[in-house]
A and B are shown apart, each in its own frame.
Chain A
Amino acid sequence: MALLDVRDLRVSFDTDDGTVYAVQGMSFSVEPGQTLGIVGESGSGKSVSTQAIMGLAPGATVTGEALLEGADLLTMSEDELRHIRGRTVSLIFQDPLTSLHPLYRVGAQIAEVMETHAQMNRKAALERAVELLGLVGIPEPKKRVRDYPHQFSGGMRQRVMIAMALALEPKLIIADEPTTALDVTVQAQILELLGRMRKDFQTAVILITHDLGIVADVADDVVIMYGGRPMERADVRAAFIEPHHPYTQGLLQSIPSYSGRMGRLLPIKGYPPSLMRQIQACPFAPRCPQAHDECLVAPPPLKPVGTSPGHLSACVLPSDAVGLPAHDAQATPAEAAVGGVEP
């Protein structure tokens, strides 16, 4: 049984200007010990999906199913969810400042997690907090546990979040951009730490990141999101070598190559879809160089593509049409404007 199985998740927010349909049918699953990467367009619903299933999207309307070891998180009470968030699932938020209290010392905040959920006494919890800060590479952790969050650098705060998530040895860690503020060396250290959790405790990890290099390095499978929906899912190798969905292909072509290709970068042309209505077509169609009429009829469902087992893509193109097109192949997007936002 999958550790977490999310089916047809939909999340919307009511705002002054109308309803925002942030997630419009997200599905994915994670097995124990597996690392699932979630990548995709900024604003495509990665954070909202994962926060909504943990009951952490205030003001949101959430439908669908999110089965954690068979039990649906979306029907649980706040108390049950709090218990799960403490013990079974840890979340590392994208924005450390929103989840660290500015007026409490960092050590006390880490210790509190263990006092509440692991019935540790204050002294033991503080000692463990120092140890955890050391594990995530904070120099002189004994001295620095007494600091307040504002006295930490961006990357140090991020590591405080990671230390908190590791404190309870959860079954699942949802890490939302956990290494954006970290240099490559510390990043490698953190990723290794997550890898060790996985080996020692069969911890599963959902890793949300824009850094495709990290995904390539540590994830088993990857889900690529766009406009509130999964566009493609594959094991990392297939996703990078045989991408099927034109969005995935466009994304891979935007990478500023480390080998130092100069000249202009190649962003995907056009604008992301408006989420002020439910999109009744392929959300990527307005920007897709290969879009045709069929794409505008309904959102294409995920279907098996390519040769690698489990490789799915939500695109109408022939299922064997995998792989990156030859270099400068990024043509002008089709003129069709479905739900696209004009500048």
Chain B
Amino acid sequence: MSTSTQGDLAVDATDAQVLLEVDDVVKHFPVRSGALIDRTHAQVRAVDGVSFSLKVGETLGLVGESGCGKSTLARLITALHPVTSGHVRFRGQDITALNRRQMRPIRKSVQMVFQDPYGSLNPRRRVGSILSDPFSVHEKMSRAEVKRQVQELMARVGLSPEHFNRFPSEFSGGQRQRIGIARALALRPDLIVCDEPVSALDVSIQAQIINLLEDLQDEFMLTYVFIAHDLSVVRHVSDRIAVMYLGKLVETGPVEEIYSNSRHPYTASLLSAVPVADQAFRTARRERVILTGDVPSPVNPPSGCRFHPRCPKAQAICATEEPPLEHKTGDPIGHLTACHFPVNPGETLANASRDAVPAPEAAVGATEGVDQ
């Protein structure tokens, strides 16, 4: 038995602690094709009904397969894409309904670190001037003061102030990524959506940036949405985790709960596949579940549970009925799972049975012992 807890998701907007409320947001992109005339004949269902809320000072880690809709969701939260439907409320105000002028103060409070740093930097402008923008747009400051502030910011993200006059093309990949982080931090926003903010950094600078983000959070009660494929980084920075699969949230809960007691078979296989460089290179023999089978498409998502064609536990009902994101018996409050047959503690996915399963050729793949 499982108790529905839609109440956990729909937060009272008057609660001063709630900074962001994402309410059933949907984003569909048209797919065009046709030999003579471009016609829309299908939709990429990039984000397909996602709800969660964020408290002030909290960090939500957002993880999931490449192409599952994380960056699109990030762009909906930061109002860089219009929603197809649903609502995004920032401090109780629905930002999906605002015009440009009304958006202005919110643009300052909500910043984004882009996944693709080079694409988000104007190649013809010097970095010093890119980073000065936020100061000159929103605050009245002398040029010398702006330069001082910018150089201080550069130093905090580990960029040398001597780089002030360089163009984006004259930086390394990781240096560009830090320019993006500096730009987002410049305005002291309330919410920063970080889309793969440390993926191009060596572990030492990564540690420096993560420490910086944590310090700023303590100092200014910053709130983060942190998207990353590096699951050890996500574990380190997050208070809560949301796991996405094909445009939907499949599991969410407190970070340690998700890492130690994941209930959704997708989460479980995701966590099992991480290659690890232990300090001593002495990683225990782990069981690795590698998903195989046809990669599902957001143009044509599977019926029922979207994970069912690749799920080791799937039964007939999984192909027909979509499992709601709900609290499962025995789990702590706030741990929600969208699955008909959640993984039980101690259960290994590799031996899971798929009795009455349609499309068996797409079952889970090899279980590999990783011996390092």
Contacting pair A153 B275 (CB below 8 A): no
Q: How distant is A249 from chain B, measured CB to nearest CB, in Å? A: 10
Whether A139 contacts B162 by the Cβ 8 Å rule is no
The answer for the CA separation of A139 and B203 in the assembled complex, in Å, is: 32
B206:A210 contact, CB within 8 angstroms: yes
Determine whether the beta carbon of B273 is less than 8 Å from that of A267.
no
Q: Does A185 contact B270, Cβ atoms closer than 8 Å?
A: yes
Complex contact A257–B278 (CB within 8 A): yes
Instruction: Compute how far the CA of A164 lies from the CA of B72 in the bound complex, rounded to whole angstroms.
Output: 25
Nearest B-chain residue to A324, judged by Cβ: B279
- Do A143 and B31 touch across chains, with their CB atoms under 8 A apart? yes
A185–B204 CB distance below 8 A: no
In the complex, the answer to whether A255 meets B279 with C-beta atoms within 8 Å is yes
CB contacts (< 8 Å) of B269 on chain A: these are 185
B166/A15 in contact, CB under 8 A:
yes
Q: Are A265 and B158 in contact (CB under 8 A)?
A: no
B-side interface residues, number (CB < 8 Å): 80
Q: Which single member of A94, A146, A265 contacts B200 (CB below 8 Å)?
A: A94
Choose from B116, B160, B175, B296 the contact partner of A139 (Cβ within 8 Å). Answer: B296
Complex interface bits, B166-196 against A, C-beta within 8 A gives 1, otherwise 0: 1000111111101000000000000000011
Determine which of A138, A240, A272, A341 lies in contact with B281 in the assembled complex, contact meaning CB atoms within 8 Å.
A240
**Contact A212–B66 (Cβ < 8 Å):** no
Is A47 within 8 A of B229, CB to CB? Answer: no
Question: In this assembly, does A98 line the interface, its C-beta being within 8 Å of a C-beta of chain B?
Answer: yes
Across the two chains, which residue of chain B brings its CB closest to A176?
B173
- Chain B residues near A182 (CB, 8 Å)? 66, 229
Mask: chain A, 208-237; 1 = CB below 8 Å from B; 0 = not: 001111111100000000000000000011
A272 to B291, CA, bound (A): 40
Once A16-B165, A184-B270 are accepted as A-B contacts, the answer to whether A41 and B205 lie under 8 Å apart by CB is yes
User: B122 an interface residue at 8 Å Cβ cutoff?
Assistant: no
User: In the complex, what's the smallest C-beta–C-beta distance from A221 to chain B, in angstroms?
Assistant: 14
A267 touches B66 (CB 8 A): no
B141 at the interface (CB under 8 A from A): no
Q: Given the known A-B contacts A43-B174, A252-B279, are A267 and B204 also in contact in the complex, defined by CB atoms under 8 Å?
A: yes
Q: Interface with A: B50-58, B89-97, B297-305, which one?
A: B297-305
Cβ of B221 < 8 Å from any Cβ of A?
no
A211 CA to B230 CA, complexed, in Å: 9
**Quick check: which of B104-112, B231-239, B347-355 contacts chain A, the rest being far away?**
B231-239
The answer, yes or no, to whether A151 is at the interface (CB within 8 Å) is: yes
Q: Is the CB of B277 within 8 A of A215?
A: yes
- In the complex, chain B residues whose CB is within 8 Å of the CB of A20: 170
Is residue B290 contacting chain A, with contact meaning CB distance below 8 A? yes
Contact residue among A41, A159, A181, A215 (Cβ-Cβ distance under 8 Å from B196) = A181
* CB pair B67 A184 closer than 8 Å: no
* Interface of chain B residues 285 through 316 with chain A (CB within 8 A): 288, 290-291, 294-300
Q: How far does the alpha carbon of A256 sit from the alpha carbon of B226 in the complex, in Å?
A: 16
B333 within 8 A of A: no
A residues near B220, Cβ cutoff 8 Å: none
Stretch at the interface among B2-10, B207-215, B334-342: B207-215
- A256-B233 contact in complex given A251-B203, A265-B210, C-beta closer than 8 Å: yes
Q: In whole angstroms, how far apart are the Cα atoms of A143 and B31 in the complex?
A: 9
B308 to chain A, nearest CB (A): 15
Number of CB contacts from chain A to chain B under 8 A: 228
B276 within 8 A of A: yes
Chain B residues with CB under 8 Å of A184's CB are 229, 231, 270, 273-275
Complex interface bits, A252-292 against B, C-beta within 8 A gives 1, otherwise 0: 11111111101011111001101010000000000000000
- Judged by a CB distance under 8 angstroms, whether A39 is at the interface is yes
Is A318 in contact with chain B by the CB < 8 A criterion?
no
Is the beta-carbon distance between B204 and A217 smaller than 8 angstroms?
no
Q: Of the candidates B155, B175, B195, B207, which one forms a contact with A267 in the assembled complex, judged by CB atoms under 8 Å apart? A: B207
Answer whether residue A95 sits at the interface, using C-beta atoms and an 8 A cutoff: yes
Chain A residues with CB below 8 A from B137, complex form: none
Closest to B41 in A: A143
The reply to whether A140 and B300 form a contact with Cβ atoms under 8 Å apart is yes
Complex Cα distance A154/B231, Å?
17
User: B275–A217 contact, CB under 8 A?
Assistant: yes
Q: Mark B23-63, 1 if CB is under 8 A from A, else 0.
A: 00000010101000000001010000000000000000001
Question: A215 CA to B277 CA in the complex, in Å?
Answer: 8
Is the CB of B202 closer than 8 A to any CB of chain A?
yes
With A181-B229, A213-B277, A258-B232: A138-B295 Cβ-Cβ less than 8 Å: yes
Docked pose: A216 CA to B281 CA in angstroms? 8
Question: Who on chain B is nearest to A236 by CB?
Answer: B281
With an 8 A cutoff between CB atoms, is B65 at the interface?
Answer: yes
Q: Any chain A CB within 8 A of the CB of B1?
A: no
- The interface residues of chain B lying within 8 Å CB-to-CB of A15 are 165-166, 170
Bound together, the chains give a CA A72 to CA B270 distance in angstroms of 44
Given the known inter-chain contacts A139-B296, A140-B299, please indicate yes or no for A240 contacting B170, CB distance below 8 A. Answer: no
Bound CA–CA A20/B156 (angstroms): 22
Q: Which residues of A contact B174 (CB under 8 A)?
A: 42-43, 210
11 interchain pairs (CB within 8 A)? A42-B172, A42-B175, A47-B172, A97-B118, A140-B299, A185-B269, A185-B290, A210-B199, A251-B203, A256-B210, A266-B207
Extra pairs beyond A17-B165, A267-B205 (4, CB < 8 Å): A43-B175, A96-B116, A181-B199, A266-B207
A interface residues, Cβ below 8 angstroms from B:
13, 15-17, 20, 39-43, 46-48, 94-98, 137-140, 143, 146-147, 151-156, 159, 176-177, 180-189, 210-217, 236-237, 240-241, 250-260, 262, 264-268, 271-272, 274, 276, 324, 341, 343
